Structure 1
Amino acid sequence: MNLLLSIAFVLCWSSGFIGAKLGAGTASAVTILTWRFLPLAVILMIIAAFSRASWRGLAVRDVARQAMIGVLSQSGYLLTVYYAIQLGVSSGTTALIDGVQPLVAGALAGPLLRQYVSRRQWFGLCLGMGGAAIVTMADATAGAGAVWWAYLIPFLGMFSLVAATLLEGRSRVRVAPTVAMAVHCATSAVIFTALALSAGAVVPPAEISFWAAIIWLVALSTFGGYGLYWLILRRSGVAKVNTLMFLMAPVTAIWGALMFGEPFGPQTALGLAVALAAVAIVYRADTSSTRARSRNADTCEAARPAIRRAPSPASAGRPGRRRLP
């Protein structure tokens, strides 16, 4: 089940970069993002309103925390990704810069979330970064046609997503997925609609390709990629879900080559192989540590009866008491 979820997550998250590329030729970034989240937010809020049990026990600060997570993980992250792609940065390179996230999240997860990364996992993370760098160099030498500072924009989105991940990890209250998605999308809808109104870009184009990109983004990227990100994060932790991010760049590069004719050569294939090896190393390290913790727990549980039966040092030499008649 975990393997299937991981595969689905990689494909759906990668589809977001392709969807951004599909809509980039028909409208501005804020127009695409407005119509991606505005109808979706209305539907999700209606669904969340009928599931009143999901709101029980939530304080105002819990909802405010989810709103802040939505600002960081959707508004801040997506706006930078779309803007970079519109400036000419290829979808594969944008996904690759996003691949730096596992190293940043892994470094911060220990002191902030008490989720420490083992040496083998660190080796896998660094190896994955190497695979991501190989794909980036291949794209840069092919000439994407973007100005140099455009490559710095996705880094802002990467830090925004890391901040959202750590903020969610430090939350003591578990919010129902329907409520979290509704709050995140409603927050993004308000922000993107305000930006579109201020820029005079709220009116959507009539092209079929625009609405096809919107459907693509809502179905695959929001429900698939974004929903699975938080699901895997809760089930497996920061290190594992962020290691999967290393696969986004090679997989997106394959999609970009097939759909848009973006370059995909031997160097990109090598980067994909290195990224796959990195994910395998991290997953095996996590599985080994989980088994070790399970064995230690079983050993301690088996030793407890013997500990209870053993006499204490104080009573070992104490003579037995005689019962009075």
Structure 2
Amino acid sequence: MSNSTLAPDRPRSRFLALLLPFLLEAALVVSWSAGFLGIRFASDHAPIFLILLWRSLISGLLLLPFALTMGPRLRWSDVPPQILFGALAMAGYLSGFALAIGRGVPTGLVALIADMLPLMVALLSWPLLGQRLTPLQWLGSLIGFVGVLIASAGALKLGDVPLWAYGLPILGTLSFALATLLQKRSPAGALPVHQSLCLQCLAAAAILALPAWFEGGVAPVMKLGFVGGILWLVIVATFGSWSLYYLALRRFSPARVTAVLYLSPPVTMIWAWIMFGEPLSWAMAIGLAVSLGGIVLFSWAPETAHVESKAKAG
């Protein structure tokens, strides 16, 4: 009797096991893409570093009471690794793109370089984590990148800027890739998401205060567009996308989590079409379909090979 009772639950549990990762990754893509809209709202009213400063500061302060009262007690030894992760993943990553755009690197090219994150994570996973992609995963990742190229081809233009400025978004993307892999490997990455996110946001705010001050000051701009943009960035981009990113990072390999972000540029274009009436094109639709195909192929491929475990087994 017990076997017949439990049997119908097995297909349901298998279905949920397949559905929940998909829902997590879909929510990550939607919220990650929506974060760019907050920047657009606020950038009409304030410099970019001031926006990044107040986004990080308010996020960290709102999370601080929960970080101190919920979860394991924070120790001083937990702080330095989280400062490093915040410096790399938030301050370094975002500053690289902000400085590049400020120096005249075209926004389309900056976005395209940002979408090389999955490839950088895949390349660095072997030396840092002992993981390497299978041929099928490499194929899915490359197909996803081709989809990004197709979708953003219309926005890709080379500008007349110093050659070194093109290295800024590359350094920013590399900074985020390193933060992702180091957090996956470090015991400090096991902190509850709200605690690690709080410490990282406060660390990023302290770092971003200096360029914001040089850019014109650290005082907030008391305009509705700035306030609305910051609230959007705090609630949707920080509490939404970064929390989902870290949750997914604990469940899946870094290569898989970042590969999902190939869908971010086309979804961002859809957001811009809905909210700002920006035109869509067939290239965007085709690029979205190609990237989605690459992500599906990557997700269905066998798990990454663990070089170290294979060596031990041999």
CA–CA distance in 1 between the matches of 2:106 and 2:286? 18
Q: How many residues align?
A: 283
Asked if residue 35 in structure 1 is aligned to residue 54 in structure 2, the reply is yes
What are the equivalent positions in structure 2 for 1:74-85 lying under 5 Å apart?
74-84=90-100
SS across alignment from 1:206: coil
Structure with max Cα Rg: 1
TM-score by length of 2: 0.81
1:116 pairs with 2:132: yes
- 1:21–1:85: 8 Å Cα contact kept in structure 2? no
Unaligned residue ranges in structure 2 (runs of 5+): 1-19, 305-314
Match of residue 39 from structure 2: 20
**CA offsets, 1:243-266, max 9 Å, x none?**
111111111122234434545311
The answer on whether the counterparts of 1:28 and 1:201 sit within 8 Å (CA) in structure 2 is no
Q: Displacement, 1:88?
A: 6.9
| Conservation of the 8 A alpha-carbon contact between 1:54 and 1:179 | no
1:208-237 CA-partner distances (Å, limit 9, x unpaired): 111110011001100111111111011011
* In the alignment, structure 1 residue 137 sits paired with structure 2 residue 144: no
Pair 1:285 & 2:301 matched: yes
Contact 1:77 1:158 in 2 (8 A): yes
Q: 128, 133, 144: which is aligned to 1:128?
A: 144
- Percent identity of the aligned residues? 36
- Which among 49, 69, 72 is matched to residue 85 of structure 2? 69
TM-aligned CA distance change 1:92 to 1:263, over 3 Å: farther
- Residue of structure 2 in register with 1:252 after alignment: 268
What are the superposed Cα offsets for residues 169-203 of structure 1, whole Å, 9 maximum, x if unpaired? 22134222222111101101211223323443212
Within 1, Cα distance between the matches of 2:106 and 2:35? 13
TM-score, scaled to structure 1: 0.79
- Name 1:268's counterpart in structure 2: 284
Counterparts of 2:162 and 2:215, CA distance in 1? 25
| TM-align CA RMSD | 2.5
1:165 aligns with 2:180: yes
Matched, 1:191 2:207: yes
> Quick one: distance in 2 between partners of 1:14 and 1:192?
22
Superposed displacement of residue 87, structure 1 = 6.3
CA separation of 1:187/1:217 partners in 2, compared to 1, >3 Å: closer, same or farther?
same
| Distance verdict in 2 for CA 1:275–1:162, change over 3 Å | same
Give ranges in structure 1 of 5+ residues lacking alignment.
291-325
* AA matched with 1:164: A
> C-alpha offsets along residues 137-191 of structure 1, whole Å, 9 cap, x if unaligned?
2212xx6988586665432221110010111122134222222111101101211
Structure 2: how far apart are the matches of 1:85 and 1:20? 13
Counterparts of 1:91 and 1:4, CA distance in 2: 30
Instruction: Determine helix, strand or coil for the equivalent of 1:26.
Output: coil
2:309 aligned residue: none
Change (3 A) 1:275 1:186: same
- 1:92–1:250: 8 Å Cα contact kept in structure 2? no
What is the letter of the counterpart of residue 200 of structure 1? G
What is the alpha-carbon distance in structure 2 between the residues aligned to residue 52 and residue 134 of structure 1?
44
User: Relative to structure 1, is the Cα distance of residues 23 and 146 closer, same or farther in structure 2, using a 3 angstrom cutoff?
Assistant: farther
* Map of 1:216 onto structure 2: 232
Q: Which amino acid aligns with 2:176?
A: L
